[in-house]
Amino acid sequence: MVSPKQLISPSKLKTKYLASFSGHEPFFFFYDNEADELVIMLISPDTETTVHYVDKNVGILFQPDNLEIVGLQVEGFQKSFIPSHNSLQDAWKLSSSKGVPLDNLGDLSMFIREKQITFALKVIRASKPVLGKPAKKLEEALEYA
C-alpha cells in the first residue's frame, strides 16, 4: 500500500501567532462525543483551518493562507488517545474535582475554563513526542489563556 503524500511539510508551518498569543484572544475547547474528537483552538472556530496529522490521533490545526499553527485536533480521543496516556485519565473525569465550592454560575464558568486550560496543557504535553517543536509553542501560548 502506498503512503498518502503530505500536502505540506510540517517544517513549513509557522508559530509566530503562538508566540504573540497574549491570552486576550479567544480560546476554544470543544469535544464532540459522537465523533470522539477533541479540538483546542486559539482562534475563533469560524476561521478556516486545515489539519496536518502527525500520528493516527493528533493533528496540528493551521490557517491555510499563512500556515500559522492555531490549535490541535485529537481524533479517537476517548477510544484510543486517553487510554494510551494514563496522565489524562483522571483529569478527563469530572469526578476527580469533588470538593470544589461552586456557589453560582460564575464560579462554575470559571471552574470549567480553568479545567479546560489545564486539561488542554496536559493533552499538549502528552502529544509532545509526535508534535515536536510546535508543542512547546502551543504550551507557552496556553499558559497565557
Q: In this predicted model, what pLDDT tens digit does every residue of 125-138 receive, in sequence order? A: 999 998 888 899 99
pLDDT at 5: 56
- The domain spans of the chain are 12-140
pLDDT at position 107: 81
75 by DSSP, 3-state: which? strand
Extract the C-alpha cell encoding 85.
Answer: 496516556
The H or E element spanning position 65 is: none
Better-predicted residue by pLDDT, 1 or 29: 29
Whole-angstrom distance, CA of residue 78 vs CA of residue 63: 26
When the pLDDT of each residue in the chain is averaged and rounded to a whole number, the result is 86
Please report, rounded to a whole number, the percentage of residues in the chain having pLDDT higher than 70: 92
Global confidence as pTM? 0.84
pLDDT at 30 over 60: yes
